[in-house]
């Protein structure tokens, strides 16, 4: 089964990844090797990705705060490059489309699940109604054949009794 929202999400994810790789290639082509080497540590690649795709200097989480000085230096160098705003903007647009695609996919999945639950309930209701009608038909036929009789009983209108 083809799910259009999933296909759109996958396409947006591929575009976002392509744009991120373009940002990283741009940063690696512009930044001095000595600065790039300082990113080769634990969490360094993540910080380089954040700097390479951000028009504004990104705020780093606590576990990456020790890399803030090199992130700031790298961002200062990137931000003066003429092509940087366009390439970082491409990534931002791709990421925004990915987020919208993810929301569309989640909403569609929730709707599909709700429809499946509704369909299952409708089937259960239909089977219960069929079973009720079948038992009613069995009771009517049994009465017609004299296999059971109906006699009044306290608290109910009818009471079926089997003949010996």
Query: Where does a domain end: 75, 91, 112?
Result: 112
Q: What is the pLDDT of residues 1-10, one digit of tens each?
A: 788 999 999 9
pLDDT grade for 161, boundaries at 50, 70 and 90: low
Residues 20 and 78 reside in one and the same domain: yes
Residues 80 and 105 reside in one and the same domain: yes
Residues 29 and 51 reside in one and the same domain: yes
Q: Identify the residue with better confidence: 101 or 152.
A: 101
pTM score, two decimals?
Answer: 0.69
* pLDDT tops 90 at residue 162: no
Supply the pLDDT for residue 2. Answer: 81
Residues 55 and 135 reside in one and the same domain: no
Q: What is the pLDDT of residues 39-85, one digit of tens each?
A: 998 899 999 999 999 988 888 888 898 999 999 999 999 999 999 99
Residues 62 and 142 reside in one and the same domain: no
Q: Which domain holds residue 18?
A: 4-112
Beta strands in the chain (DSSP E): 148-153, 156-162
Residues 68 and 28 reside in one and the same domain: yes
If one counts the domains in the chain, the total is 2
Residues 125 and 106 reside in one and the same domain: no
DSSP string, the chain: ---HHHHHHHHHHHHHHHHHHHHHHHHHHHS-HHHHHHT-STTHHHHHHHHHH-SSPPPPPGGGGGGHHHHHHHHHHHHTSTTHHHHHHHHHHHHHHHHHHHHHHHHHHHHHHHHHHHHHHHHHHHHHHHHHHHHHHHHHHHHHHTSEEEEEETTEEEEEEE--
Q: What is the pLDDT of residues 108-156, one digit of tens each?
A: 999 999 999 999 999 999 999 999 999 999 999 999 998 888 766 555 5
């Amino acid at each position: 089964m083809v799910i259009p929202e999933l296909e759109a999400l996958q396409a947006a994810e591929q575009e976002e990844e392509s744009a991120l790789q373009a940002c990283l290639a741009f940063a690696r082509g512009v930044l001095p090797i000595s600065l790039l080497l300082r990113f080769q540590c634990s969490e360094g690649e993540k910080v380089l990705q954040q700097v390479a795709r951000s028009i504004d200097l990104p705020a780093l989480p606590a576990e990456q705060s020790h890399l803030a000085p090199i992130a700031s230096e790298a961002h200062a160098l990137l931000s003066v490059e003429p092509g940087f705003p366009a390439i970082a903007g491409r990534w931002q647009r791709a990421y925004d489309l990915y987020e919208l695609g993810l929301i569309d996919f989640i909403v569609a999945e929730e709707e599909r699940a709700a429809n499946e639950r509704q369909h299952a309930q409708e089937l259960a209701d239909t089977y219960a109604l069929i079973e009720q009608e079948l038992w009613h038909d069995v009771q009517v036929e049994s009465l017609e054949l004299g296999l059971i009789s109906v006699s009044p009983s306290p608290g109910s209108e009818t009471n079926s009794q089997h003949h010996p």
